[in-house]
Amino acid sequence: MNPRAVTHNSGYVSLPIVTGLAIMFTVSLTMLFKNTLMNRDQASKTQLRVDYRQREEAFLRALVATFPSKAMECMKANQAEGTAYAWNTIFAEAVTLSASSQRLSPDILQSLNLDGKLSGDVGDHGSAEVQSWITSLKGEPGRVTPGTTAYADIFALPAFAGKVPPLLDADATMQTADALRPIVTPLKHYNTQAPGLLADVSVHPVYNLIPYPNIRFGYAAPGEPFVAKRNWWAFTVNYGSSNSTVARHYVLSLYEIPSQMPIEAATFAAIGTHQDGTAWNVDTVNIEGSVYAARMSVSGSYGAARLSGRSGIKMTADLDLGGVSVGSDFDALGERERLQAEQGTDVLPVALSANSGRLTFLPLPTGSGYLHRSPLGRTLNAFEEYTSGGERCRITVEATAMVSYEDQTPTTIRVCFANPAGGTNEVILQRGNNWPTIFEPGGTGVPFQTELTNNNRSCLTFHPSLLDAWLQAQGAASVATNNSLHFGVDPSLNPIEVRVVSDPPAMEDMCVIIRQGKDLTNYTAGLSIIAPLRIYVGDDLNAIPAVSVPAGSGLADGTEFYPPLSIFAAELRVGTTGFNRPIEHHGQLGSLVTSGATAWQPLDMKSGSDDAVHSDSISADLKPLRSPAELPPVHPMNWLVVIEEIPQD
pLDDT for res 127: 52
What percentage of the chain has pLDDT greater than the value 70?
Answer: 87
> Do residues 95 and 88 lie in contact, with contact meaning Cβ atoms separated by under 8 Å?
no
Domain count, the chain: 3
Residues 89 and 234 in one domain: yes
Characterize the bridge pairing of strands 134-135 and 225-241: antiparallel
Region 474-498 average pLDDT? 95
- Which of 255, 229, 80 lies closest to 169 in space, CA to CA? 229
Query: Can you list the pairs that 596-600 forms with residues at least 24 positions away whose Cβ atoms lie under 8 Å?
Result: 596/267, 596/268, 599/268, 599/269, 599/270, 599/297, 600/265, 600/267, 600/268, 600/269, 600/270, 600/293
Domain range enclosing 436: 394-576
For residue 348, pLDDT beyond 80 = yes
- Is the pLDDT confidence value at 630 over 70? yes
Using CB atoms within 10 A of its CB, is residue 4 exposed (0-12), middle (13-18) or buried (19+)?
exposed
Residue 641 confidence (pLDDT): 96
Q: How many residues appear in the chain?
A: 649
Q: Please say if the pLDDT value at position 122 is more than 60.
A: no
Cβ–Cβ under 8 Å, residues 647 and 163: yes
- Check whether residue 338 and residue 461 sit in a common domain: no
Tell me, yes or no, whether 236 and 133 share the same domain.
yes
Tell me the CB-side half-sphere exposure of residue 225, using CA atoms within 13 A.
Answer: 15
Q: In this structure, are strands 395-402 and 410-418 parallel, antiparallel, or unpaired?
A: antiparallel
Q: Specify if 3 maps to a domain.
A: no
User: Which residues lie closer than 8 Å to 445 by C-beta, 6 or more apart?
Assistant: 466, 469, 470
Q: Tell me, what's the pLDDT at 379?
A: 86
> Are 268 and 165 part of one and the same domain?
no
Instruction: Grade residue 224 by pLDDT with cuts at 50, 70 and 90.
Output: very high
Q: Which residues pair with 641 in a beta bridge?
A: 254, 360
User: CB of 43 within 8 A of CB of 118?
Assistant: no
Does residue 155 or residue 46 have the better pLDDT?
A: 155
Same domain, 436 and 565: yes
Task: State the helix-helix crossing angle for 3-76 and 87-98, rounded to 10 degrees.
Answer: 130
Instruction: Give the model's confidence band at 1: pLDDT under 50 very low, under 70 low, under 90 confident, else very high.
Output: very low
pLDDT at position 481, please? 96
Taking residue 518's Cβ as centre, other Cβ atoms within 10 Å add up to 13
pTM of the predicted structure, to 2 decimals: 0.88
Whole-number pLDDT of residue 12: 53
Instruction: Examine the domain organization and report whether 59 and 90 are in the same domain.
Output: yes
Mean pLDDT of the chain: 88
Residues 79 and 155 placed together within one structural domain of the fold: yes
Among 557, 576, 595, the domain-final residue is 576
Residue 84 has pLDDT above 90, yes or no: yes
* Tens digits of residue pLDDT in 447-462: 999 999 888 899 999 9
Considering the domain boundaries, does residue 598 fall inside one? yes
Please state the rounded mean pLDDT for residues 198-223.
Answer: 94
Q: Percent of the chain scored above 90 by pLDDT? A: 65
**N-to-C CA span, the chain:** 80
Considering only residues 377 and 288, tell me which one the structure prediction assigns the higher pLDDT: 288
Both 247 and 266 in one domain: the answer is: no
Question: How many other CB atoms are there within 10 angstroms of residue 608's CB atom?
Answer: 20
pLDDT tens per residue across span 135-174: 999 999 989 999 999 999 999 999 999 999 999 999 999 9
For the cut 70, the answer to whether the pLDDT of residue 595 exceeds it is yes
576 contacts: CB under 8 Å, gap ≥ 6: 453, 454, 459, 513, 536, 538, 608, 609
Asked if residue 123 and residue 222 are part of one domain, the reply reads yes
Instruction: Specify whether 165 is located in the same domain as 297.
Output: no
Three-state DSSP string of 213-236: CCCCCCCCCCCCEEEEEEEEEEEE
Residue 405: Cβ within 10 Å count:
13
pLDDT confidence band for 197 (50 / 70 / 90): very high
Q: Where are the beta strands (DSSP E) in 406-526?
A: 410-418, 424-430, 448-452, 458-462, 484-489, 511-514
pLDDT of residue 517: 95
**C-alpha span between 450 and 410 (Å, rounded):** 7
Centre a 10 Å sphere on the Cβ of residue 321 and count the other Cβ atoms it contains: 23
Most confident of 349-363, 409-423, 590-604: 409-423
Residue 207 within any structural domain of the chain: yes
523-559, pLDDT tens digit by residue? 999 999 999 999 999 999 999 999 999 999 999 999 9
Q: Is residue 594 part of a domain?
A: yes
* pLDDT beyond 70 at 292: yes
Are the C-beta atoms of 645 and 252 separated by less than 8 Å? no
pLDDT at 295 over 70: yes
CA 200 to chain centre: 22
Q: Is 136 in the same domain as 59? A: yes
Q: Residue 99 above 90 pLDDT?
A: no
